Every structure is written in structure tokens, then in C-alpha cells.
Amino acid sequence: MSEDRGAKRSGLSLSTGLAIFVMRQDGEEISKKDQADIIKLVSKYAKALKITSAGGDRASPRHYDYGSYEKKGLGVLLYEDFILGEMPDDIRADHEDGGKTDAMKIAKAIDKQQPRTYSFKAYYVEV
């Protein structure tokens, strides 16, 4: 369900964020209305799962991108994480893995509600 593209270790921006990318399984475009609905679902599940950044800030999902990172994919930024870029590599890797796991919990909740409709990827992006 997930592919890890993530931010490169060398030159990691101090301003990174965790994004979940949502694509239709049939390969069609996601309408503006469906994009808004997806963002609402991501927000609902991020709140229910108490998703936070490494700095402890609650997730505040918002539209990040459509189609640039993932073909016909809606990117929803869960949170920005300024602290992540300042962490030692091993600690940052642990936080990144935990963040991606959290994002995929959101994906599973959406998939349970709308089975076989969407596919998901989660990774860190520069913000």
C-alpha cells in the first residue's frame, strides 16, 4: 500500500512535512469535490488517531499537491516538522518511519470506509 520515496538524507530541508498521497485505483482523475472529501476524511482520522509531528504538534491536514508527486494523486500534508531536519540521522529515521506508519493508519481507515477505491503512499516532502 505504501512506497517510500521520502526526503533525501543529504541536504534535508529544515522544513519537511509528512504527506499522504491518494490515487484512484481505476487510474482516473480525482474530482475537486472528491479531493475536498478526501481531505475531510484525512482530517477526521488524523484527529481520531491523535497524529502528531516529532515536535508534538497535532496534525493539521491540508491540500499539498495534485499530480506533481504522484500521477493523478492528491497530496495531503499532515503536518510540517521543522525539528526533523535538526535530528541526528538515526533518530530522524525512527521518527520518519513512525510518521509513515501513522499515515498508513489513516489510509487503512479510509480504505475500510471506501474499499477498493483508492491506493495510498506516504512520505516526507519539502515544504
User: What digits encode the pLDDT tens for the residues 46-98?
Assistant: 999 999 987 889 999 999 999 999 999 999 999 987 766 677 777 777 777 88
Report, as an integer, the average pLDDT of 30-45: 98
Binning pLDDT at 50, 70 and 90, where does residue 13 land? very low
31: confidence class by pLDDT, cuts 50, 70, 90: very high
- Read off the pLDDT band of 2 (50, 70, 90): very low
Q: Phi and psi (nearest 5°) for 102?
A: -60, -45
Quick one: pLDDT at residue 9?
39
The dihedral through the CA atoms of 118, 123, 125, 127 has a sign that is positive
In this prediction, residue 83 carries a pLDDT of: 64
| Cα end-to-end distance, the chain, whole Å | 24
According to DSSP, the residues that pair with 19 across neighbouring strands are 77, 123
Q: Express each pLDDT in 18-29 by its tens digit.
A: 999 999 999 999
Q: Cα 89 vs. chain centroid, distance in angstroms? A: 20
Cβ count near 5 (within 10 Å): 13
Rounded to an integer, the average pLDDT of 10-36 is 87
- List helix spans (H) across 49-88: none
What are the domain boundaries of the chain? 16-122
Output the pLDDT for position 33: 97
